[in-house]
Amino acid sequence: MTIGVLVSGTGTNLQALLDAGLPVRAVASNRRDAPALERVPHLPTAAFELDDYGSRAERDAAMAAWLEAQGVELVVLAGYMHILTPAFLERFPERVLNVHPSLLPDFPGAHAVADQLAAGVAQSGVTVHIVDDGVDTGPIVLQERVPVLDGDTVETLHARIKDVEHRLLPAAVEELLCAR
């Protein structure tokens, strides 16, 4: 199964997928300047900025069409920070996977690590799940706890969470590929 990855940031999770030898064939972003895109000079890449389209649905339809044209069958959100509309999800039914830095359903959203520290939780974690049309909802594929340590900052906690993500995300993708 051919994989397309969506990114918005630094792309360390994209790197983990590549390092695991998974069949990543195309990478797209909502940001032309996403550093993650620089990790894949050997692959087709494209940026779909909201400002270039009349609506979010139009942008998502264009992004889905581009991924399909690259032969993508499974989409992995690796630090992709926009909500996907039905215009995208309908093209890849139950074939979009997301990695999130908390024990979902707790702490969805774009600031999960800071939110967990502010709430004073003892346990953070990583969740890999199938994407539906909610915000960080959908069936969980894999989940693992990450303890919060005394003196943790957003940076130190997020770094330890990412270490787990880099193992859990490729494992979840492999599980899905084997199941299909």
Residues identified as active-site: 100
Q: Interface with ligand GAR by CB under 6 A: which range of 62-70, 95-103, 117-125, 172-180?
A: 95-103
Stretch that binds ligand GAR, among 8-16, 42-50, 58-66, 170-178 (CB under 6 A): 8-16
For residue 31, state whether it binds ligand GAR (rule: CB under 6 A): no
Is 165 an interacting residue with respect to ligand GAR (CB under 6 A)?
A: yes
DSSP letters for the chain: --EEEEESS--HHHHHHHHTT--EEEEEES-TT-GGGGG-TTS-EEE--GGGSSSHHHHHHHHHHHHHHTT--EEEESS--SPPPHHHHTTSTT-EEEEESS-TTSS-STTHHHHHHHHT-SEEEEEEEE--SSSS-S-EEEEEEEEPPTT--HHHHHHHHHHHHHHHHHHHHHHHHHH-
Q: How far is the CB of 161 from ligand GAR (least distance, A)?
A: 6
Asked if 112 is part of the footprint of ligand GAR (rule: CB under 6 A), the reply reads: yes
Nearer to ligand GAR, 91 or 127 (CB): 127
In the set 78, 96, 146, 157, which binds ligand GAR (CB under 6 A)?
78
Residues 6+ apart with CB under 8 A from 159: none
Based on the shown chain and the rule CB under 6 A, indicate whether residue 138 belongs to the binding site for ligand GAR.
Answer: no
Nearer to ligand GAR (CB atom), residue 68 or residue 171: 171
In the complex with ligand GAR, which residue's Cβ is closer, 10 or 70? 10
The pair of three-digit structure tokens given for residue 67, joined into one six-digit string: 């991924």
Candidate residues 9, 70, 142, 154; the one interacting with ligand GAR per rule CB under 6 A: 9
Rounded CA separation 169/119 (Å) = 26
Smallest distance, ligand GAR to C-beta of residue 34, A = 8
Where do contacts with ligand GAR occur on this chain (CB under 6 A)?
9-13, 36, 78-79, 99-101, 110, 112, 136, 162, 165
